[in-house]
Amino acid sequence: MTELLYGIAVAPFKDMAGSPAFFAEVLIGGVFAGLMYSLVALGFVLIFKASGVFNFAQGAMVLFAALTLVGLIERGVPVALALVLTTAVMVALAWVIERVVLRPLVNQEHIILFMATIGLTFFLEGFGEMVWGANVKKLDIGIPDRSFIVAGIQINQLELSAAVTSAVLVAVLAVFFQRTRIGRALRAVADDHEAALSIGIPLKTIWMIVWSVAGIVAIVAGIMWGAKSGVQFSLSLIALKSLPVLILGGFTSVPGAIVGGLIIGVGEKMGEVYWGPLVGGAIENWFAYVLALAFLLFRPQGLFGEKIIERV
């Protein structure tokens, strides 16, 4: 018994103190992993904020963006041009989704829109496979997957660029949401469709914008995940890993998606390395879900989500 308690409460911290450089590496690894989750979660948050739709297809959008980018690069298109074209494809996709999926279903129950996004997931996966093929592809955007050492800590170049890109993207989105007219219009639409219409906000344009932005976020996420583990159909499943992030951070909060991602990324890495041996490992696989479950029980709106206000 005392041995177990020692193993839980003392030994891991002794390990951390004993080898600070290794601790820092684990921490940094967790932060990087967390930012990758955040990137996917961010796409969810954007769409959920503006339209109340839980977009199940966000993961498929990440896959589709990555497939398109890789496909273009494989066909000899220069990387920069391929990026521009992929962005254009994602914006066009947003336009099509607004016309074909959202517009006919306007004013329907949320669950119906949710089901529609499940359909969209299958479509995107199938369409992506049809156009670009089903093989695992290597995405090379010119950043080497090499490490360098700073103050005795090993840092991966690719992960570092991913982190910097995410941070910049988040900062830009935060400013966009808080400081611009479109950002305010997005928040207004998220809050009440009718009221937004009546003060002159065109819903359709807003939806188109928000799905485009979610598409662009999907490109960034697709590049980062694709460069790390290859572009393959399991990319579509990383969406599932970002669900706990959303529950933690709150479905409507951009900072929440980031902080939630970081907590889960760092938490699961720390748990795996320092507490994993106690239970025979594999903490990384369930840590996020257990944490999300605890949040659902005690703080369902998440860390930063808007408290659900309802008058009866």
Helix 283-298, helix 254-270: angle, nearest 10: 130
Q: Which is nearer to another protein, 87 or 301 (CB)?
A: 301
Non-local (6+) Cβ contacts of 59 within 8 A are: 40, 121, 235, 236, 237, 238, 239, 240, 242
Q: Which is nearer to another protein, 75 or 311 (CB)?
A: 311
Non-local (6+) Cβ contacts of 135 within 8 A are: none
**Least distance between another protein and beta carbon 193 (Å):** 8
CB of 79 closer than 8 Å to CB of 140:
no
Distance CA(121)–CA(64), nearest Å, equals 10
Q: Which is nearer to another protein, 84 or 172 (CB)?
A: 172
Residue 147, judged by CB atoms within 10 A of its CB (0-12, 13-18, 19+), counts as: middle
Distance CA(251)–CA(259), nearest Å, equals 12
Handedness of CA 98, 103, 104, 107 (dihedral sign): positive
Q: Which is nearer to another protein, 146 or 181 (CB)?
A: 181
**Least distance between another protein and beta carbon 187 (Å):** 7
Q: Which is nearer to another protein, 14 or 204 (CB)?
A: 204
Q: Which is nearer to another protein, 3 or 194 (CB)?
A: 194
Q: Which is nearer to another protein, 140 or 192 (CB)?
A: 192
**Least distance between another protein and beta carbon 49 (Å):** 10
Distance CA(69)–CA(88), nearest Å, equals 11
Q: Nearest CA to 112 among 49, 59, 60, 53?
A: 53
Distance CA(191)–CA(172), nearest Å, equals 22
CB count within 10 Å of CB 298 equals 7
CB count within 10 Å of CB 141 equals 17
**Least distance between another protein and beta carbon 277 (Å):** 45
Which positions touch another protein (CB under 8 A)? 179-181, 184-185, 187-188, 190-192, 194-203, 306, 309, 311
**Least distance between another protein and beta carbon 133 (Å):** 43
**Least distance between another protein and beta carbon 215 (Å):** 24
**Least distance between another protein and beta carbon 205 (Å):** 9
Strand, helix or coil for residue 43 = helix
Q: Which is nearer to another protein, 185 or 257 (CB)?
A: 185
**Least distance between another protein and beta carbon 98 (Å):** 15
